[in-house]
Amino acid sequence: MKVAEFFAKHRFSATIETDAILAEFNRQMTSGLEGHVQSLAMIPAYVDVDRSVPTDTPIIVLDAGGTNLRVAIVQFDKSGKPSISNFKKYAMPGTSGETLEMDDFFNQFANFLEPVCRHAENVGFCFSYPTEITPTLDGKLLRWTKQVAAPGVVGQMVGSGIAKAVEAKTGQKLAIRVLTDTVATLLAGKSAGISRRYSSYVGFILGTGTNIAYIESNRNITKIEGLDPSHAMVINIESGNFNGTPASDFDDRFDATTSDPGVGRFEKMISGAYLGGLGLVLLKHAASDGLFSTPAAEALLNLNSLSTKDFDDFVANPFLKGSPLDAIPFSDDDRRIFMTLGEPLFIRAANLTAANIAAAVLRSGAGHDKLHPVCITIDGSTYYKTRTAFFKSRVEASLRTTLGAKNVNFELISVEDAPMIGSAVAGLIA
Ligand code: BGC
């Protein structure tokens, strides 16, 4: 069987219908803001980007959202330059194979905060999971993503839950302000680009998971009563859950193997927690359909897991050693097939990534004057480190085509430690 035939049989295509996807994003964004959520939660962040950031005031930041959990103290000097101190990195609770009870989960955070809890009273908590934010910046976890195993935390207020655990342990009272990483990244871009007059800001993440935030006029956020219509607010789209892109057999089969089938279907097509697993499903289908030599096919069918990094590295260089793919007796023809099968998965991911970013930029309605482009701040290892298919430059090229055709000016920036810097901004302006 030829590769083209194999992809058609399993309803897979690397090319996407960008205009149709943009229209569907826009339609679902509108209904999410009206309170009729289809797949986009459109969560108001209760952050007003126009407040200025207090300087010379230390704040504790907690960054939880990937495989690592980071704790530090951040302080902005008079010129607005941030400095990070007391930095510590731990494993994210609930990601090491254990299932945590709610109390254990909150107590682990109290342990992480104990060494720094007397340095400041405020905490900016970057909690990168679908979380409903209250006007005082506490957050109720709606569901887990990224396969975190701590089911008792769903439905709980995470800011006050951790604050209570810290107080019980140390006697110290902390005010914990919760936001997600896309909102923090947007804010970090705003504070870094203070001298440039942008017309709007977008914060995009492609790491373990994916998501995007933008600024919406309060007038359009009709699901909340009493907002000042002359102001604007950051909205966390939770785009990883978008359901408006066609799924292949590989996507459906892979989704069924995750702990949350049916959820995060977009994220499972493009982000670091999933691309390797999705790739393995594709490779196993190809092995069953006779695209590999018999010894390679047999070994592939016995492979239990494949990380995104190992998959990406091997597609980029199929002679690379040091991954579970070493155990597979590939011939050079098998290696060629491996590349021909793997690349399109990354090409589709790049195309979908660009469509997601374009959807948020277009929704902002900004960028039509070249003097004032839209500032898109991007964070996340999958975006910056993926090697296959010229990933990052492919996303950039696709954005130039899509947004350029609509005369929208934009700039892509990265800010070092964006989630931590942005969480400090949010906590200090709250
Ligand atoms: C979460 C988002 C987060 C994104 C990127 C998704 O799984 O639901 O809240 O922003 O990952 O970390």
pLDDT (tens digit per residue) in 318-372: 999 999 999 899 999 999 999 999 999 999 999 999 999 999 999 999 999 999 9
Half-sphere exposure of 87 (CA within 13 A, CB side): 9
Going by alpha carbons, the residue nearest to atom 11 of ligand 1 is 209
pLDDT of residue 46: 95
The reply to whether ligand 1 has any atom less than 6 angstroms from the CB of 139 is: no
Atom of ligand 1 nearest to the CA of 65: 12
In this prediction, residue 80 has a pLDDT band, given cuts at 50, 70 and 90, of confident
* Percent of the chain residues topping a pLDDT of 70: 99
Coil, strand or helix: which one is 302? coil
Q: Which of 125, 129, 265, 377 to mutate to test the pocket of ligand 1 (most atoms within 8 A of CB)?
A: 129
Going by alpha carbons, the residue nearest to atom 9 of ligand 1 is 129
Per residue in 238-261, pLDDT (tens digit) is: 999 999 999 999 999 999 999 999
The reply to whether ligand 1 has any atom less than 6 angstroms from the CB of 205 is: yes
Per residue in 144-184, pLDDT (tens digit) is: 998 899 999 999 999 999 999 999 999 999 999 999 999 99
Alpha-carbon 30 to chain mean position: 21
Task: Find, among 191, 240, 190, the residue nearest to 65 by Cα.
Answer: 240
Alpha helices in 289-331 (DSSP H): 294-301, 308-316
Per residue in 100-150, pLDDT (tens digit) is: 999 999 999 999 999 999 999 999 999 999 999 999 999 999 999 988 999
Any bridge partners for residue 413, and if so which?
Answer: 377
Q: State in Å: Cα 394 to ligand 1 middle.
A: 22
The reply to whether ligand 1 has any atom less than 6 angstroms from the CB of 180 is: yes
Q: State in Å: Cα 128 to ligand 1 middle.
A: 5
Strand order in the sheet with 59-64: 82-91, 68-76, 59-64, 122-127, 175-179
Predicted model pTM:
0.95
Query: How far is residue 183's CA from residue 175's CA, in Å, rounded to a whole number?
Result: 19
Cβ neighbors of 348 (< 8 A, separation 6 or more) are 12, 13, 14, 15, 16, 269
pLDDT of residue 50: 84
- Assigned token pair, 116: 């720094």
Residue 157: φ, ψ to 5°: -85, 115
At residue 388, does pLDDT exceed 70? yes
The reply to whether ligand 1 has any atom less than 6 angstroms from the CB of 382 is: no
Cβ neighbors of 131 (< 8 A, separation 6 or more) are 43, 139, 140, 141, 142, 158, 178, 180
Query: How crowded is residue 91: how many other Cβ atoms within 10 Å of its Cβ?
Result: 11
Residue 341's alpha-carbon distances to 268, 291, 314, 378, 383, in angstroms, are 18, 10, 12, 28, 20
Query: How crowded is residue 300: how many other Cβ atoms within 10 Å of its Cβ?
Result: 23
With tokens 């942008």, the residue in question is 198
CB 66 within 8 A of CB 128: yes
Query: How far is residue 277's CA from residue 168's CA, in Å, rounded to a whole number?
Result: 41
Atom of ligand 1 nearest to the CA of 209: 11
pLDDT of residue 194: 66
pLDDT of residue 422: 96
Q: State in Å: Cα 329 to ligand 1 middle.
A: 37
The reply to whether ligand 1 has any atom less than 6 angstroms from the CB of 423 is: no
At residue 418, does pLDDT exceed 80? yes
pLDDT of residue 196: 82
The reply to whether ligand 1 has any atom less than 6 angstroms from the CB of 265 is: no
Per residue in 14-37, pLDDT (tens digit) is: 999 999 999 999 999 999 999 999
Query: How far is residue 384's CA from residue 272's CA, in Å, rounded to a whole number?
Result: 11
* Percent of the chain residues topping a pLDDT of 90: 92
The reply to whether ligand 1 has any atom less than 6 angstroms from the CB of 146 is: yes
Query: How far is residue 427's CA from residue 430's CA, in Å, rounded to a whole number?
Result: 5
pLDDT of residue 49: 85
Average pLDDT over residues 207-229: 96
